[in-house]
Amino acid sequence: MNNELKIGLFGIGLETYWSQFEGLQARLEGYVNEVSANLSAYGAEVINLGLVDTPEKAFKAGHDFRKSDVDVLFLYVTTYALSATVLPVVRHVKVPVIVLNLSPQANIDYEQFNKMGNRTAMTGEWLANCSSCSLPEIANVFKRANIPFYQVTGMLRNDPKAWNEVADWVSAAKVARVMSENRMGLMGNYYGGMLDVYSNLTLQLCTFGGHIEIIEVDELSALSELVTENEVSGKMMEFASLFEIQEDCPLPELKRAAKTAVALDRLLERHQLGSIAYYHKGMGNRINEETMSSIILGASLLTARSVPVAGEYEVKNVQAMKIMDSFGAGGSFTEYYAMDFSADVVLMGHDGPCHSGIAEGKIKVKPLQEFHGKVGSGLSVEMSVAHGPVTLLSVVETVDGKVVFLLAEAESVPGPILEIGNTNSRYKFDISPRDFVERWNAHGPAHHCAIGRGHISSKLLKLAELLGIGAIRVC
């Protein structure tokens, strides 16, 4: 996959001004170059076409951006400019556009301005500061052309609020790019009767892009048979470095988990996977049962490597996990565990793979005699999400055949957890547990969601805008 984001940047101006006001063109071009440098600092390739100041240049810019295969356009309004220098660019490229209304300074020095004496020079100075002048005209045309657009208003320099917002747009565009090329592996089948988890795979691909590879459990089992003792030993060393393995973990189970983990690595390489959702009930095929009941540790290693693995064949939630991880927030598979009205928290967690990158302390590996609600036994992982701010994301399929984001912000807080060999944490919201649960459930999500570190609702809302889908923030 080529996940490098390509940003198309252009400023707009009016060619008529250049001969009238000495130095104005060069000054505005300098502003565009400042924006370009700032965007590049966010880790993206910037295709900077400078000032577009005539309709003719607008048509050429549209073709050039399209040839460059840009993912998103940033339009910097430097001064008054005709909307005819904007529409041909955006119509031709057909990617999301963010309009930058960034004044070069906090305010004009009115006293010095009015002392200039030369009214032509004064007008030129004003034009270098009137970036907001043509915004209504541009917005009008975008609305009439049914072109979505997004605005950032502030200052070119010394304005962290504006540039943090720009950075969020760049982050969201990067994640949209990642999702558009992500290869998801689906292995096994749905957990029978879990109706909320059933997903429209075509809808997922139409919304996010990417590819879904349907994989047989037999393939992973066959790869397991090719694993050598040396590879098993190497993977067990990896387990020891990442996990806190409890003393009651049987050595044969550790070896079985290591063997399956090596096979998972090979499956990942064979299909170039960026995420996996799996479930296998098992009906008497011993080899497949042994493979799938020993998958948790290897799947946790992959999740830590930004290849999220979701159990219960949860397509929508592995999408949410991939999104959270692509924002650098991690992405832990979770569901309601219990409500603690005394402490005013909701306990949430899940069995199966975990994300070591967002763990509070070292992850414990424990043996389980029963995988509750599932066939088999073996090793499982226990962790809490690191204490501090977190964001919950659910990818929801609606009754009218659309995808929306459901999200909430909370705090992962210390306190007792259920030490049952699962991921589980305590979350405090800025509304009561009963209000959170009722508001969240009112939107009809599946019973799983993804939790990541940090409060990133702003980025998720921007990603939804770029994808053209709805988003609901509960709290």
Orientation angle between helical segments 296-304 and 229-242, nearest 10 degrees: 60
Burial class (CB in 10 A: 0-12, 13-18, 19+), 211: middle
* Mean pLDDT for the stretch of residues 203-229: 96
Distance separating alpha carbons of residues 11 and 74, to the nearest angstrom: 8
Question: What is this structure's pTM?
Answer: 0.94
Q: What are 359's two structure tokens? A: 């763990």
Q: CA-to-CA distance for 259 and 191, rounded, in angstroms?
A: 25
Number of other CB atoms surrounding residue 195 within 10 Å: 8
**What span, in angstroms and rounded, lies between the C-alpha atoms of 46 and 125?**
28
pLDDT tens track for 278-323: 998 777 788 888 888 899 999 999 999 999 999 989 999 999 999 9
Q: Is the pLDDT of residue 54 over 80?
A: yes
CB atoms within 10 A of CB 4: 11
Cα–Cα distance between 295 and 222 in angstroms, integer? 14
- Report the SS3 class of residue 6: strand
What does the chain come to in residues? 475
Reply yes or no on whether the pLDDT at 178 is more than 90. Answer: yes
Domains of the chain (ranges, CATH numbers): 6-179 (3.40.50.10940), 182-473 (3.20.14)
108 has a pLDDT exceeding 60: yes
Cα–Cα distance, 233 to 238 (Å, whole number): 9
Q: What pLDDT, in 10s, does the model give residues 255-286? A: 999 999 999 999 999 999 999 999 987 777 88
The pLDDT tens digits of the residues spanning 373-383 come to: 555 567 888 88
Q: Judge whether residue 2 has pLDDT over 70.
A: no
Q: If you search the block for the tokens 């502003």, which residue do you land on?
A: 31
Measured distance CA(33)–CA(50) in Å, rounded: 7
Write out pLDDT tens, residues 61-79: 999 999 999 999 999 999 9
